[in-house]
Amino acid sequence: MSTTAHNILDIEDALVSDENPARNNGTLDYERCARLHNYLAALGWMARNGKETPDLDALAAEKHFFSEGNDEVETIRERLDIPLNKFLDLVYDPSDFFYWVNGLAMMLADEFFIVDENEWEDFERFVVIYDLIPDLGGHSLGVVYDQLLNQASFPMTIDNMDSVEPVEEHMEMWFPLETILTQWIYMTQIGRAVPGLPESLPSGDPPDE
């Protein structure tokens, strides 16, 4: 894992590409996903604070829900499989993570997938890893992760559920998590999306183009 400001911004070898494809062995590449997540977290921190280099101590100090040791957090983590918990142990957890993405949610989400069965008793099958900023409305969802297939999708609202379920009939909409994170990074690189939100803007308002 990246431990310096220089390394956290050195992300090219973690990006998904034809030459560097996503893992396809049915497991979560939690270390790679954590690197991609932390890169976006660092970009967001720099955007909010007008800095050219992230202050990793300050970034680590931005503790939010999954950085706090409380019973509610532990109850959720008990429903996550080992790779997802390892991912949480490696990532920064700032708010206003990436443009319209608020940040880590880890919301147990089987109730939204009534068509797809969960074969486990101890683990939730579906988890909303990233939620959306509240300004997008009450029916927003976010990045959903299927712990059974170790694939992720991005139904932005509950109204979009019919495009991703039943999962086995919509596999073209499900990807390794590192693929989604890579696409967000590419969007920032070509100026199609903004990492984080500057402090001068109200939360949820996009910057002027």
Phi-psi region of 143 (alpha: psi -120 to 50; beta: other; left: phi over 0): beta
Confidence of residue 122 (pLDDT cuts 50, 70, 90): confident
Q: What is the structure's pLDDT at 125?
A: 95
Handedness of CA 22, 25, 28, 34 (dihedral sign): negative
Rounded mean pLDDT of 106-112? 91
* Model pLDDT for residues 138-185, shown as the tens digit of each residue: 678 899 999 999 999 999 878 888 899 999 999 999 999 999 999 999
The more confident residue out of 47 and 126 is 126
pTM here is: 0.87
Q: What is the mean pLDDT of residues 29-56?
A: 92
> 3-state DSSP call for residue 104?
strand
pLDDT for res 199: 43
**Residue 130's pLDDT is what?**
94
| pLDDT for residue 65 | 74
* Higher-pLDDT residue of 207, 46: 46
Task: Say what the pLDDT of residue 61 is.
Answer: 86
Listed range (43-57, 102-116, 185-199) with the worst mean pLDDT: 185-199
Q: What is the mean pLDDT of residues 96-103?
A: 80
Residue closest to 173 by CA, chosen among 181, 164, 160, 182? 164
Q: Can you tell me the mean pLDDT for 96-123?
A: 85
Tens of pLDDT along 62-92?
877 777 777 888 899 999 999 999 999 999 9
Mean pLDDT of 28-37: 96
Beta carbons of 150 and 129 less than 8 angstroms apart: no
Residue 96 near residue 44, CB atoms below 8 Å: yes
CA–CA gap between residue 93 and residue 40 (Å, rounded):
11
pLDDT for res 202: 41
Mean per-residue pLDDT, 95-100: 75
